């Protein structure tokens, strides 16, 4: 069963979780001085409107009409009850997922890419630089820039650039320019290439290059697809819609809300609107919020809670988060979008204070869940998304064990149609299980 | 703007165009005797329910509840008004498309795959054999068989099997078994391999193998993804929904209905429900129906209208259609789904009698339209679908030239996410323009 809403029901304001957090967010620190950064420090990289959102304490922030016009090309996304999966598991649980894979780029990423392109355009910027790992973010940003007539320049982690050319082609189809990172276009890239000419790159290095690009090119800003407060803010349309659609489905609050977690944006998009209802805020009476991460990049489950850089080269402000260290390079798992050493400060704040749980899975168990889902329901999920599916299946089996009718909600953050090589490896016993 | 309908609004009966055709369909002829084939001749290959539908003159045929339950996983599909494309073209035309790409397999093909799997299961069949070119049909059938617990065995044109492995992986993810065709599993395949061991195969050869497989394996039936009357029947949900959604949009009948045409099933699915309203039936007062085919496989625009085999080896019944000859092997264009020497008899009947037009485009102009669409609207279309888009854009430009507010409806039959290599070739000037 799918619960649909007409385009005019797309939320008209973003939900800002800041006033609802268990404790205030700690400020980012300048990488040089170690002092808290202010709006002026960020102005070379971001438009003032986004800097304002990054630091805002307003509970709701209006979505501009021009952004809504584009979001409505695919929003509201369907909320789907996975009845066939429930039947396959023989569980009394009711499993719902929010289908963010229906966007043109195939994931939740355009929710913020469109907003970021809009605010940059509105402030007269003509070009945006960014980085991408496996390519989900780069393709979302290329799409958004094309719609607003902005140039888009993407530093793509070299290993993915060469091994997964289709995301690169997708970006180019939308007019984006893509180079493998490290490149010789930046000092940061050159330094890495001098040390290791054959490196496959990393997300941290690509961020360093994109930030340097924006700082050294006229008319250019930088854009990040996760981690930052304003990015998570833009994703809250997911959870806001889901709440309405659960009501349509005759449900109250879910018992558990699940999302895969790399930088944290898809999880946050679904989960943050439930924070005011959640266990931490209501003495354990509300939904449990759960972050699902890969065992090979266990930021929330095994990282240290401390100030660290967002990138490899140490060019970004330091932020207070769970981190595996900014020089940590995760193994090349197929869920490229979850290979990040840190996590969004908002997510870390919730986990640190016990308002959100975290769990980690090795990729073998994740692909087992992905194939089980595809064979029961039809859609083939992204490897990132399959982390949430793994956890949803385990929650449903726990409900069966307990004989309880639990309501499980997870974010179907993207499809796996550009990840079929990973399925090939799994189905033919060639997946390295880390 | 998207016009949505809730799952319960999925049509509950298929529209049978047979009673509305300009002249009765001529019967298929037995390949050996040349006599008209009857139900008994077809029984080794198809369940009786489908044979009945193939020959039915009933105006409506009920969709079984078990089929509807599965169609409702993604149906009704959205009808989308392509406003951003209209703006890019600066046309007074209103362009609508029916988005069949939202099915799990990414095209309209599951509409019939699900029905065919159901009827086979209902008659006790445990295994289905079929062929696939680029893989759209094979993946739809694998998906459908998985949902009904049937084995699915697919002969995939060898060139595609080796060059485009991702559709093969998709089929395997849904539990399908896939071999490159020609194979050494059939006499038909062995004969071709003996003549030409390095052949890349063709759809005609793969059909021969799949038919032979069904005829020589116990518990096995054959399934075809286009051409036959019952296949086109199952696709009519597309046009039936579109009619309701156009009404929602405040439109009357469209001025022109467009679909790409290989075997004819996606075009038929959208267009057949408009036949009773169409020009031929109403002295030119209704919508124009237009088939769009590749210049390199110009069946309707340059083929002969005569009895011909459906496959390469001459194992199938002969059918009366436009044909380029059953031994014709089209050049390896990227729209693999349009590389067929013949066309559905129903489509040919309409074209022969002047109730439907046909137009052909070379693939360079088709990809130009595909990229223009992607950059204006977002979604990246399948190369097959892009044929309809090319024609829709040209219709919109003609409306602009004439200063007329025309309503254009086309079938967005599938997404191009597994065809990005073709976009790569086009964007980098490496597309062979045939």
pLDDT in tens, A91-141: 999 999 999 999 999 999 999 999 999 999 999 999 999 999 889 999 999
pLDDT band at A283 (very low <50, low <70, confident <90, very high): low
pLDDT of residue A281: 64
Residue with more model confidence, A53 or A204: A53
Whether the Cβ atoms of residue B322 and residue B290 lie closer than 8 Å to each other? no
Which among A135, A172, A152, A173 has a CA at the least distance from the CA of A223? A152
User: Residues near B26 by Cβ (< 8 Å), separated by ≥ 6?
Assistant: B320, B345
Does the pLDDT at position A279 exceed 70? no
* Positions of E strands within A100-169: 127-132, 151-157
The mean predicted confidence, pLDDT, of chain A is 95
Q: Which of B166, B373, B382, B415 to mutate to test the interface with A (most CBs of A within 10 A)?
A: B166
Q: Quick one: pLDDT at residue B433?
A: 86
Q: Does the predicted model carry a pTM greater than 0.90?
A: yes
- Torsion sign, CA atoms A311, A314, A317, A318: positive
Residues facing residue B258 across a β-bridge = B290, B410
**Whether pLDDT at A285 is above 80:** no
CA separation for the pair A22, B60 (Å, rounded): 61
Q: Are B192 and B182 in contact (CB under 8 A)?
A: yes
- The verdict on a CB contact (< 8 Å) between B423 and A72 is no
What are chain B's domains?
Answer: 68-106+237-427 (3.40.50.1100)
Percent of chain B at pLDDT > 90 equals 88
Residue to substitute from B378, B416, B422, interface A, most A β-carbons within 10 A = B378
Give the pLDDT confidence of B325-354 residue by residue, as tens digits: 998 888 888 888 898 899 999 999 999 999
ipTM of the complex model? 0.96
What average pLDDT score do residues B379-406 get? Answer: 98
Shortest CA distance to B16 belongs to which of B54, B65, B71, B70? B54
Averaged pLDDT for residues B406-420: 97
* Cα–Cα nearest to A235, from A380, A71, A90, A375: A71
What is the 3-state secondary structure of A17-55? CHHHCCCCCCCCECCCCCCECCHHHHCCCCCHHHHHHHH
Cβ pair A175:B375 closer than 8 A: yes
Give the pLDDT of residue A401: 98
Return the pLDDT at B279.
Answer: 66
Q: Please give the pLDDT value at position A329.
A: 83
What is the pLDDT confidence band of residue A332, given thresholds at 50, 70 and 90? confident
pLDDT of residue B284: 66
Contact of A151 with chain B, judged by CB distance below 8 Å, is answered with no
Residues of B in contact with A424 (CB under 8 A): 165, 169, 172
Residue of B nearest to A422 (CA): B169
Residue B304 in this model has a pLDDT that exceeds 80: yes
What is the tens place of the pLDDT at every residue in A293-311? 999 999 999 999 999 999 8
Searching chain A, which residue's CA lies closest to the CA of residue B104? A379
B242 vs A312, higher pLDDT? B242
pLDDT of B282 over the 70 cut: no
A332 by Cβ neighbours in 10 Å (0-12 / 13-18 / 19+) ranks as middle
- pLDDT tens profile A26-50: 999 999 999 999 999 999 999 999 9
């Amino acid at each position: 069963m799918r619960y649909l809403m007409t385009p005019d029901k797309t939320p008209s304001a973003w939900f800002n979780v800041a006033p609802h957090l268990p404790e205030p967010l700690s400020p980012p620190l300048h990488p040089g001085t170690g002092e808290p950064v202010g709006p002026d420090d960020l102005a070379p990289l971001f438009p003032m409107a986004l800097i304002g959102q990054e630091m805002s304490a307003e509970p709701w922030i209006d979505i501009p009409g021009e952004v809504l016009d584009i979001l409505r090309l695919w929003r509201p996304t369907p909320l789907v009850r996975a009845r066939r999966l429930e039947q396959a598991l023989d569980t009394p649980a009711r499993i719902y997922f929010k289908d963010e894979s229906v966007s043109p780029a195939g994931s939740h990423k355009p929710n913020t890419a469109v907003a970021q392109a809009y605010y940059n355009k509105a402030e007269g910027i003509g070009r945006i630089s960014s980085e991408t790992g496996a390519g989900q973010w780069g393709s979302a940003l290329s799409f958004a820039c094309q719609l607003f007539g902005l140039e888009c320049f993407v530093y793509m982690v070299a290993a993915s650039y060469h091994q997964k050319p289709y995301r690169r082609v997708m970006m180019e189809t939308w007019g984006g320019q893509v180079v493998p990172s490290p490149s010789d276009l930046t000092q940061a890239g050159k330094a890495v290439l001098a040390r290791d000419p054959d490196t496959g790159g990393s997300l941290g290095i690509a961020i360093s290059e994109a930030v340097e690009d924006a700082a050294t090119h006229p008319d250019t800003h930088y854009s990040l697809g996760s981690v930052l407060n304003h990015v998570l803010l833009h994703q809250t349309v997911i959870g806001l819609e889901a709440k309405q659609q659960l009501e349509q489905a005759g449900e109250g609050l879910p018992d558990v809300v699940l999302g895969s977690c790399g930088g944290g944006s898809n999880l946050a998009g679904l989960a943050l609107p439930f924070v005011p209802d959640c266990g931490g805020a209501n003495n354990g009476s509300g939904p449990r919020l759960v972050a699902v991460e890969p065992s090979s990049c266990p930021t929330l489950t095994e990282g240290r809670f401390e100030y660290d850089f967002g990138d490899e080269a140490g060019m970004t402000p330091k932020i207070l988060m769970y981190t595996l260290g900014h020089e940590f390079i995760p193994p090349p798992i197929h869920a490229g979008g979850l290979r990040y050493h840190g996590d969004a400060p908002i997510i870390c704040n919730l986990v640190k204070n016990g308002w959100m749980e975290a769990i980690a899975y090795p990729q073998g168990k994740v692909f087992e869940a992905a194939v089980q889902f595809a064979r029961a329901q039809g859609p083939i999920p992204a490897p990132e998304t399959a982390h949430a599916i793994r956890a949803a299946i385990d929650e449903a089996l726990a409900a069966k064990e307990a004989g309880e009718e639990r309501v499980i909600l997870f974010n179907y953050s993207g499809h796996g149609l550009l990840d079929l090589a990973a399925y090939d490896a799994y189905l033919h016993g060639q997946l390295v299980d880390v």
